[in-house]
């Protein structure tokens, strides 16, 4: 599905207005998520967007596909040194203040730009770009709604195949195969440095309480020391909570959801903790109101857990493995703005999409919790984009 020309124009106009207000002459974008957002193509390109005028797409590979997919002029790029000439050849002035994505740009690449633009002052444009991308258009919300259609079908399938003797990896592999058949594209884009993720995480029992390198409530044991996250070769046992925390992607737009399953039963203690997670999720949903500051919502939730539950030490991890967020933006990337996290200054705006995920971790036992993708709308709180029921699924 191509991005409509009107959608690309709207995105570029908003960015150009921001550039003018911030005193930038243009931006040079190379991060795949950002170039896809403003150009409509995921080919290997450099995208130059001046503060005034039409964007310029410079493609390494593939020029033909990029031209077919984008609304902007495409030129074949044989080297970074050619960029200033392309800008001038398109009757655009060379920038004196240029925005780069300094949160993701390798130092060696940055040094090459310094040589190509020796008189230019570089500014980190990543915060401006990420903040714009945080607020979704109606077209983007429609894409997310399409993506949300897959998870209910996948969860139905999971209930039909879960059986005694199945390992975590076997269960995950069957679910990932089914998700691909249903339309999941397979690539979970993330922005964070060193972040590695394929389908999400599936783990059960004590392994679902293991912390690790990934900035999440738990990491799981993983397949090996080299892949210490997610499903392991352990056999799923009766009564263990099974965490299904998956990202689903269609047309580049992601939905992040978590559901709990179990073989046979779950203990009353775990069911009670899960019920508390549902209450917290609803409090979070109602708190996601335009104009509110994300960090203040986080502190309210932390205080409520401390004052009203016995799970303060188990919330969003345990011990050194705890994380300081309860929700994150999502869209083209898994880790977008806003973050409902400690110290976050982001002001919520209607159209922001947030995956809210209150979870509890019990060492030696496992994890329970919930995650749903939602869209900020009005005074009544956010609206769930996720479609599936939220109670634990017990397979007898």
Instruction: Provide the CATH number for the domain around residue 172.
Output: 3.90.230.10
Q: What is the pLDDT of residues 323-340, one digit of tens each?
A: 999 999 999 999 999 999
Same domain, 90 and 163: no
Dihedral of alpha carbons 121, 125, 127, 132, sign? positive
Do residues 173 and 102 both lie within one domain?
Answer: no
Q: Are residues 195 and 50 in the same domain?
A: no
Domain that holds residue 75: 5-133
Q: Are residues 129 and 150 in the same domain?
A: no
- In this structure, the answer to whether residues 155 and 239 fall within a common structural domain is yes
**pLDDT, tens only, 257-291:** 999 999 999 999 999 999 999 999 999 999 999 99
Specify the pLDDT at position 245: 98
Please state the domain count of the chain.
2
Domain of residue 55, CATH code: 3.40.350.10
Q: Which pLDDT band holds residue 197 (cuts at 50, 70, 90)?
A: confident
- Domain shared by 99 and 196, yes or no: no
Q: Is the pLDDT assigned to residue 317 strictly greater than 90?
A: yes
The pLDDT of residue 153: 98
Q: Note the pLDDT of residue 199.
A: 87
Q: What are the residues facing 393 on neighbouring strands?
A: 261
Q: For 382-392, what is each residue's pLDDT tens digit?
A: 999 999 999 99
The pLDDT of residue 176 = 97
| Same domain, yes or no: 259 and 347 | yes
Return the pLDDT at 286. Answer: 98
Query: How much is the mean pLDDT over the chain?
Result: 97
| Per-residue pLDDT reduced to its tens digit, 1-37 | 999 999 999 999 999 999 999 999 999 999 999 999 9
Q: What torsion do the CA atoms of 191, 197, 199, 201 make, to the nearest 10 degrees? A: -120
Question: Residue 59 half-sphere exposure, CB side, CA atoms within 13 Å?
Answer: 22
Of 133, 168, 201, the domain-final residue: 133
The yes-or-no verdict on residue 253 having pLDDT over 90 is yes
pLDDT tens digits along 93-102: 999 999 999 9
In this structure, the answer to whether residues 120 and 161 fall within a common structural domain is no
The pLDDT of residue 194 is above 90: no
pLDDT per position as a tens digit, 236-251:
999 999 999 999 999 9
The per-residue DSSP string of 34-79 comes to HHHHHHS--SEEEEEEESSS--EEEEEE-HHHHHHH-SSEEEE-S-
| 253 alpha-carbon distance from chain centroid | 9
From 133, 166, 191, give the residue that closes a domain.
133
User: Considering 114, 133, 152, which residue would you say is the last residue of a domain?
Assistant: 133
Separation of alpha carbons 164 and 395, rounded Å: 10
Please indicate, yes or no, whether residues 384 and 266 belong to a single structural domain of this protein. yes
For 113-155, write each residue's pLDDT tens digit: 999 999 999 999 999 999 999 999 999 999 999 999 999 999 9
Q: What token pair was written down for 73?
A: 């002029």
Query: Same structural domain for residues 96 and 150?
Result: no
| Residue with token string 């040079």 | 28
- Taking CA atoms, 163 is separated from 153, 160, 167, 245, 303, in Å, by 18, 8, 10, 19, 40
Q: What is the pLDDT of residue 195?
A: 86
List of long-range contacts for 268-275, beta carbons under 8 Å, 24+ apart: 270/241, 270/362, 270/365, 270/366, 270/368, 271/392, 273/311, 273/314, 273/360, 273/362, 273/368, 274/360, 274/368, 274/369, 274/370, 274/392
345 and 372 in a single domain? The answer is yes
What integer pLDDT is reported at residue 308 of this predicted model?
98
Whole-angstrom distance, CA of residue 204 vs CA of residue 122 = 47
pLDDT of residue 325: 98
pLDDT of the residue at 198: 84
Q: pLDDT tens-digit profile of 158-177? A: 999 999 999 999 999 999 99
On the question of a cis peptide bond just before residue 370, with omega within 30 degrees of 0, the verdict is: no
Strands 73-76 and 56-61, bridge-based pairing? parallel
φ and ψ at residue 48, rounded to 5 degrees = -105, 125
Residues 93 and 160 in one domain: no
């Amino acid at each position: 599905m191509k991005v409509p020309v009107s959608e690309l124009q709207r995105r570029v106009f908003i960015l150009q207005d921001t550039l003018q207000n911030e005193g930038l002459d243009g931006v040079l974008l190379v991060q795949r998520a950002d170039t896809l957002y403003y150009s409509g193509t995921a080919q290997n390109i450099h995208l130059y967007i001046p503060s005034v005028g039409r964007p310029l797409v410079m493609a390494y590979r593939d020029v033909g596909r990029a031209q077919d997919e984008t609304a902007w002029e495409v030129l074949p790029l044989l080297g970074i040194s050619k960029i200033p000439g392309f800008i001038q050849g398109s009757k655009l002035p060379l920038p004196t203040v240029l925005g780069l994505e300094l949160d993701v740009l390798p130092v060696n690449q940055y040094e090459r730009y310094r040589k190509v633009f020796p008189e230019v002052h570089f500014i980190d444009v990543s915060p401006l770009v990420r903040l714009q991308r945080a607020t979704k258009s109606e077209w983007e919300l429609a894409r997310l709604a399409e993506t949300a259609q897959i998870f209910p079908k996948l969860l139905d399938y999971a209930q039909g195949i879960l059986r005694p003797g199945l390992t975590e990896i076997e269960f995950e592999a069957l679910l990932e195969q089914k998700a691909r058949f249903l339309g999941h594209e397979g690539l979970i884009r993330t922005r964070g440095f060193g972040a590695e993720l394929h389908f999400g995480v599936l783990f059960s029992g004590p392994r679902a309480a293991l912390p690790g390198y990934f900035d999440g409530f738990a990491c799981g044991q993983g397949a090996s020391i080299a892949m210490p996250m997610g499903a392991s070769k352990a056999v799923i046992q009766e009564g263990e909570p099974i965490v299904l925390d998956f990202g689903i992607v269609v047309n580049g737009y992601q939905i992040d959801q978590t559901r709990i399953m179990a073989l046979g039963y779950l203990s009353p203690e775990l069911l009670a903790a899960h019920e508390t997670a549902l209450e917290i999720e609803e409090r979070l949903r109602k708190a996601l109101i335009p104009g509110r500051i994300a960090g203040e919502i986080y502190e309210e939730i932390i205080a409520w857990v401390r004052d009203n539950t016995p799970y303060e030490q188990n919330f969003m991890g345990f011990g050194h493995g705890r994380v300081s967020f309860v929700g994150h933006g999502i869209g083209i990337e898994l880790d977008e703005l806003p973050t409902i996290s400690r110290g976050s200054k982001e002001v919520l705006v209607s159209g922001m999409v947030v995956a809210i995920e209150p979870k509890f971790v019990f060492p030696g036992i496992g994890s329970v919790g919930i995650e749903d993708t939602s869209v900020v709308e009005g005074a009544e709180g956010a609206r769930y984009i996720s479609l599936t029921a939220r109670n634990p699924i017990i397979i007898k």
